Chains A and B, each alone.
Chain A
Amino acid sequence: MKLLKRAAAVLAVAGLMGASGEAARAADEGPIKIGVLHSLSGTMAISETTLKDAILMMVDQLNASGGLLGREVEAVVVDPASDWPLFAEKARELIEGEKVAAVFGCWTSVSRKSVLPVFEELNGLLFYPVQYEGEESSKNVFYTGAAPNQQAIPAVEYLMSAEGGSAERFVLLGTDYVYPRTTNKILRAFLHSKGVSDDDIMENYTPFGHSDWQTIVADVKAFASAGKKTAVVSTINGDANVPFYKELANQGISATEIPVVAFSVGEEELAGIDTSNLVGHLASWNYFMSVDNDLNYAFIDKWWEYTGDKNRVTNDPMEAHYIGFNMWVQAVRQAGTTDVDAVRQAMYGQTVRSLSGYDVQMHTNHHLSKPVMIGEIQPDGQFEIVWQTESPIVAQAWSPFIPESAKLTADWSYPWVCGNCTEPRYADWFTN
């Protein structure tokens, strides 16, 4: 028992020492720290490690070109290990312990939900780079991925057009979590508004990492044999996609018969699959690696150089981080400080030329205006862009297709100053 006490004492002292050392370091001198909160182990490591590398690369570049406000930028990488409560713990450690100026991180909605209270409590700044279900606008988060109106709805509109094959019947396949559920809810409402009846919509949800797709692919085939052009809208997540596409290809479902449009399948996911039998299946994103412009090619070259591997691909969430990081740098320069409140103000209206070739802008709902692109899978694992918007589309944080959310407004500028309100809150700031 004595030993126990000793051990406890050592632990406590160690904790105190570490803590006081941290506290002594002021946030205004030395390098500017930013946090990288992406899983490097566990199930999400597949997707998130790339994003960590991308941020590190951009930090390197920034430092090589003279840093920020005359100071060096240092990325603090931690591994939340695909463990949601650990995300919250690490976020707290980054903001309070490491005093980071901003955090780039999270992939899944649940990880974002887990860190959200921490960022709001400690007034941190999170850049969230993944397409998601919307229905959120926090003062402390900038959402650089797509909202449903920047990805799902344009894709379905395309499928219904003559060019996209005039689909009349839809299968909504998804992994059972909040993003597919919400997206499909919005899509169902949208399809109703286009005159598609419930008989022509099939919805199916599978667990994470689902690996046996035989039954579902057979079901899709049966559903498609009703004499109407059928298309599949897939919100299947990460890991489950490889077995899904392998089954699809081997069962001989070609894109000309039943096209599959996916919102979570990008270059990185396709890197694990032989795509020669998947040509023509689609994906909807705000960026594809195959975008033809010099900025993009230069970025790809740097990426290859940084990773030392010419087979590495770039994808949409990486581009979102590219936008987020550059916007943050611009905002910090403009504000002349890394202070969160000042940077947030400077972020609004900030414009960055994105890798997609468009100028994207941060709006006061903390979301971006982004272009929408629809690409078809090619035999080399890349996408060929078959359709894109003329100009960037402004994100709707709250979907007009969900009655409860249609009432809400997200606008952090005068006079609203609120992420989810039915009336302006500016006056409240004086009474409180």
Chain B
Amino acid sequence: MGPITRRIGTLQGPRGWAVFFALIAIALLVPLLNLMVPAGSLFYVPDYVVPLLGKYLCFALLALSLDLVWGFAGVLSLGHGAFFALGGYAMGMHLMREIGDRGVYGNPLLPDFMVFLDWDHLPWYWYGFDQFWFASLMVFLVPGVLAFVFGWFAFRSRITGVYLSIISQAMTYALMLAFFRNEMGFGGNNGLTDFKDVLGFDLSTPGTRAGLYVLTVLALGLAFLICRFVVKSKLGRVATAIRDAESRVRFLGYRTDRFKLFLWTLSAMLAGMAGALYVPQVGIINPGEFSPANSIEVAVWVAVGGRGTLFGAIIGAFTVNGAKSFFTGWAPEYWLYFLGALFIIVTLFLPGGLVQLASRVRDGFTGGRNRGLRAARRSARATEGETSHAT
């Protein structure tokens, strides 16, 4: 075993790996049950469940990316939706170009909305997106560069805490307004929609959707391992120290801004990937994804799951979105009460999120020390860290 594989092996204990692969296996079972099992069987998964779970997986990936910066470097971004949406737009632009002359106006070069608004040529920033490799590159590059530039200025100026949260919110708000403008050439309020296929696969067939779903599962698994790798490394430990006492770390001679900038940019790229996987599965990307409320919601998912634990973010994304899907159908007039109450209860009684709840329940049975408790303690420490900063 080489040094790298050995390090990967130590990312989590043998039990951790077992659970990790078991979860991936369960997740991969879903499209199999959908495609192979006949409808009407007890184990049949209806078609609509696959894209729904696929959507949750994308949100989980987004939550994971936020947890990386918030849970481990103490940078609460209220603008992560912007990176997600930018990744989504990059993919959406590719899907628009793939439509080719099958749009309603049959223009081989221009997407429908441009024909419709009298554009006579393709804007320069749409060039290259007809190539899948280029679009895939942009999925990471656009959010990455924006995050790098934003972070480079912000962390160098030592903008921290609430100030950073608010200006990241301003960033996504500004982008939302900009993308709303039809002159921008991104389809305005309607955004990009009407996609036909990706890499030659018809987007409306269950097979393609299952493929996208599998891809998302693997992407989430990979992203989880990457994040795990990063936070376990020395760099990650310095970041955690920055979260708990930035000034002290700086006085010890670390360039704290560079550590934060690395995590921040990585996180933005992961968010971009989440957006790129999201778009073909839901079939639309529009400026609503930039809205500040969406980004706040991402923070809520992480908090509900338990921040600073990585898998807490995933649990949170699944719980909140699952609850939202369920309540909006089951109690359309009252679901906001449930959701609002959930946020308040979690913040008040479960500062460590659902992960903490899990460990509490387990303590009741076994009383032993375990991963969940350690996670809870970690987040409790994080809380203390914040306290020492607060007035």
Contact = CB atoms under 8 A, between A and B. Distances in A.
Interface of A: 1-5, 7-9, 11-12, 15-16, 19-20, 22-24, 40-41, 77-81, 83-86, 88-90, 92-93, 96-97, 108-110, 113-114, 116-118, 120-121, 135-136, 176-178, 181-182, 185, 205, 207-208, 402, 404-405, 408, 420, 422
A222 B188 CA distance: 29
Nearest to A15: B49
Residue in B26, B332, B359 whose Cβ sees the most chain A Cβ within 10 Å: B332
B288 interface: yes
7 contacts: A78-B329, A85-B55, A89-B52, A109-B190, A120-B204, A177-B180, A177-B182
A404 B105 contact: yes
Contacts, number: 172
A90 B328 contact: yes
Contacts of A78: 328-329, 332
A430 to B, nearest CB: 21
B12 to A, nearest CB: 8
B189 A16 contact: no
Contacts of A41: 335-336
B16 interface: yes
B204 A79 contact: no
Contacts of A176: 180-182, 188-189
B168 to A, nearest CB: 21
Contact of A4 (B23, B42, B322): B23
A311 B308 CA distance: 53
Interface residues of B, number: 69
Nearest to A97: B48
Contacts of A422: 106
Interface of B is mostly: helix
B315 A4 contact: yes
Given A40-B332, A182-B116, A7 B315 contact: yes
B46 A85 contact: no
- For chain A, what secondary structure do more than half of its interface residues adopt (helix, strand, loop), or is it mixed? helix
B189 A92 contact: no
Q: Shortest 9 CB-CB distances between A and B: which pairs? A: A79-B332, A177-B189, A1-B19, A96-B48, A121-B204, A92-B48, A3-B358, A85-B282, A79-B328
A23 B282 contact: no
A135 B19 contact: no
Contact of A404 (B16, B41, B115, B362): B115
In this complex, which of A110, A121, A136 has the most chain B Cβ atoms within 10 angstroms of its Cβ?
A: A110
A96 B118 CA distance: 38
A253 B181 CA distance: 29
Interface string B103-125: 01111000001011110000000
B48 A420 contact: no
B191 interface: yes
Interface string B279-319: 00011101010000000000000000000000100010010
B163 interface: no
A352 B104 CA distance: 31
Contact of B190 (A12, A83, A90, A113): A113
Contact of A177 (B15, B188, B204, B322): B188
Contact of B188 (A2, A12, A178, A185): A178
A208 B115 CA distance: 24
Contacts of A2: 15, 19
A402 B116 contact: yes
B22 interface: yes
Given A19-B44, A96-B46, A96-B47, A113 B284 contact: yes
A86 B106 CA distance: 29
Interface in B178-208: 180-182, 188-191, 193-195, 203-204
B218 interface: no
Contact of A19 (B45, B106, B180, B191): B45
Given A4-B315, A77-B332, A88-B283, A181 B44 contact: no
